[in-house]
Amino acid sequence: MEILVTGGAGYIGSHTCLELLKAGYKVIVIDNLINSHKVSLERVEQLAGKSLTFYEQDLINKDDLKKIFTQHDIKAVIHFAGLKAVGESVNFPLSYYKNNLMSSLVLFEVMAQHNVKKLVFSSSATVYGNPKAVPITESALRSTTNPYGTTKLMIEQILEDLAISDNEWEISLLRYFNPIGAHASGLIGEDPNGIPNNLMPYITQVAAGRLEELNIYGKDYETYDGTGIRDYIHVVDLAKGHLKALEYSHKGIESFNLGTGIGSSVLDLVTTFESANGIFIKRKFVNRRSGDIASCYADVSKAKQILKWETKKSLFDMCQDAWRWQNQNPNGYLDINPKV
């Protein structure tokens, strides 16, 4: 079965492509490589012992996308492609709305034209905004605190309307919490451009000496240690959740939280990283960031019950695997020959 993966060269996309190949699927990747690297896909092929088909292009190019659907017998789509940095979205909202919404609309139109109506959409816990209660269930009120989250929510609404208009669609909205970690081989992992927006690559780059110290944003939240609480999930567990959603046969649209259901503070993550790897992380507290919230973690009972999916890896595992990736690839995918 041929599966189209948009944004498949990215962090979560590459790990998902590996799991798809291992499960016997034929994988077609579209990625414009704006915030990803083709090397990741070469390493995916190396790990899987199988090849995939790669197209370097932008989803907004409708005619090119149509050709791919004509040339391949695509049965389903996993849609990752999009700009993804919360802080950047606040500074450049128009870029986020144009890129994330337009590319998605073009993709959904071409899927409909080729009668490909099974879709797994990469959504986000940001659609819950500042939650009124935790753990968060899929039925919680949705709102957003930044343009990135708003694009995810708007695409969810588009897909809800699409499912109402045509009951042949099978759509799964996967709301991720905080993916971290890397493949246990150390060959694929998170490789952000410039200074990282996410916590774990910031920690690993401090550990590697690329950054001097870690900024911890806020120490006065109403949490047990004053730092923000999040639901950190291993990227491999997350990738496997996409396969479960792909295998789930249903009509209409369903949303699923993908997390561990465990809230860990920023300091928990830092100290676990230190314990897992024997490395001290120099840090300092700075002011809160606009749009950050105190606590956000998932109720994952729906995914466990319906998708038969649950996480296997611990926070300790996530920290070990993240450091292995960084240590073997000090400069990310620019290191063509990683240390082993």
Q: Catalytic residues, which ones? A: 148
**CA-based angle 299:304:308, to the nearest 5?**
160
- Report the C-alpha dihedral over residues 182, 184, 186, 187, rounded to 10 degrees: -90
Q: Do 11 and 179 meet the contact criterion of CB atoms below 8 Å apart?
A: yes
CA–CA separation, 258 vs 300, rounded Å? 6
- Kindly report each contact of residues 82-87 with a partner whose C-beta sits within 8 Å and lies 24 or more positions away, as own/partner: 82/7, 82/122, 82/151, 83/34, 83/35, 83/148, 84/35, 84/148, 85/148, 85/197, 86/126, 86/146, 86/148, 86/149, 86/197, 86/291, 87/197, 87/289
The SS3 assignment for 279 reads: coil
CA–CA separation, 93 vs 87, rounded Å? 10
